[in-house]
Amino acid sequence: MEIINQTNEIFKKPKAIQPLLKASVRGLWQTMGNSLCTGKEPYKIDKLTEKFISYFSNETQKGLAIVGEKGIGKSLNFLIYQRIRTTMGEGMNIMVLEVKEIEHKFKLEGQPFIDELVKVKELVINDVGTDSSVIKHYGSNIELVNEILTLRYIKWQKLGGAFKTHISSNLVEGQIEKMYGDRIYDRFKEMFNTIVSDNLISYRK
């Protein structure tokens, strides 16, 4: 009986992070937005923010992909989400990184850094499409973002909503397909609920 119980624990799927409570999420989002927004334009809950709030307060098996112009709040809203999770004691379950941060840390830490990104329950990669096509590391060439997304896709297939990946990008769909190829683009469509934002507010002015 003990052996059976141990085996069940090994193959037990980890629990997904629970959706944010709808009753409190808007107030939390506004508070964190006020603290993080440093531009001249004050933070406000606009159309794009509403889509973030709707997504993160409902259960879904897929990650979130936000596509739109620069400076409209894509990265900012993901940081707000991370900050909210941190105040709830769930900061260890989510990482938010820019593509250039990922490239820099990989050059310093190598494969252990990729392993860390694959293990985290929710990973946000901002500015997908600004990555270098190939990163050289100890004589090997690696398409870094492609590799990370592929490994997380495999884990997502096995564990469903328990491991989600979110991205933001300034690229439109055709550009994403051209940059990453048909295979990764098809996985994008499987992994993500994609929102093409027409937000006009820039938080970088």
Q: Are 126 and 168 in contact (CB under 8 A)?
A: yes
Q: How far apart are CA 145 and CA 103, in angstroms?
A: 9
| pLDDT attached to residue 3 | 45
Q: Which residue has the tokens 């600004």?
A: 130
| pLDDT attached to residue 178 | 85
Which of 134, 95, 99, 140 shows the shortest CA–CA distance to 118? 95
What domains can you pick out in the chain, each with its CATH number? 22-196 (3.40.50.300)
| pLDDT attached to residue 204 | 53
Contacts of 175 (CB under 8 A, 6+ apart): 129
| pLDDT attached to residue 138 | 62
pTM: 0.88
| pLDDT attached to residue 45 | 93
Sequential pLDDT tens for the chain (205 residues): 444 444 344 446 788 889 999 899 999 999 999 999 876 778 889 999 999 999 999 999 999 999 998 888 999 999 999 999 999 999 999 999 999 999 999 999 999 999 999 999 999 999 998 887 677 666 667 889 999 999 999 999 999 889 999 999 998 878 888 888 888 889 989 999 999 887 655 555 4
Hey, what amino acid is at 14?
P
| pLDDT attached to residue 140 | 67
Q: How far apart are CA 121 and CA 153, in angstroms?
A: 12
